[in-house]
Amino acid sequence: MKPDAQNPVLFFDGVCNLCNGAIQFVIKHDKQQKLLFASLQSEAGKKAISGVTAQYQYYPDSLLLFYKGKYYIQSDAVLRTAKLMGGAWSAFYVFIIIPRFIRDGLYRFVSRNRYKWYGKRDACMIPTPELKARFLS
């Protein structure tokens, strides 16, 4: 499956336990199954990294969102993902009013410490057969 304007794609660090837990959370709560997923280590992820690096001069290493032809990084990716999940989770988008430098500072702090706090896997997660259709190859 390929990303397009109708299917937002959430890219994540496939070896990060925190990131994998976050993806499992999103899968469980994305009732309309809007979001698609890919690890940053996949071919689709490598292309996304290249796109983000060109767009922002920033190398994403934990989470990014591709939606409607644009990449969202750091706290913008997290908040927009919550909004896309719908339901009560979309209320978290209100935090977009906090200045980006504060939101992104907190995001970078967690990102820098995620392996120390949550650990790291030897390999990316493999989706179950039921979830395979929601993961980019």
Domain assignment of residue 2, yes or no? no
What is the model's pTM? 0.88
Partner residues linked to 70 by β-bridges: 67
CA distance 116 to 46: 24
Total number of domains constituting the chain:
1
Domain assignment of residue 71, yes or no? yes
Q: What is the mean pLDDT of the chain?
A: 89
Domain assignment of residue 4, yes or no? no
Domain assignment of residue 65, yes or no? yes
Domain, as residue range, for 42: 9-129
Q: How far is CA 27 from the centre of its chain?
A: 11
pLDDT tens-place string over residues 33-87: 999 999 999 999 999 999 898 888 888 888 999 999 999 999 999 999 999 999 9
Dig out the tokens for 98 from the structure.
Answer: 């906090």
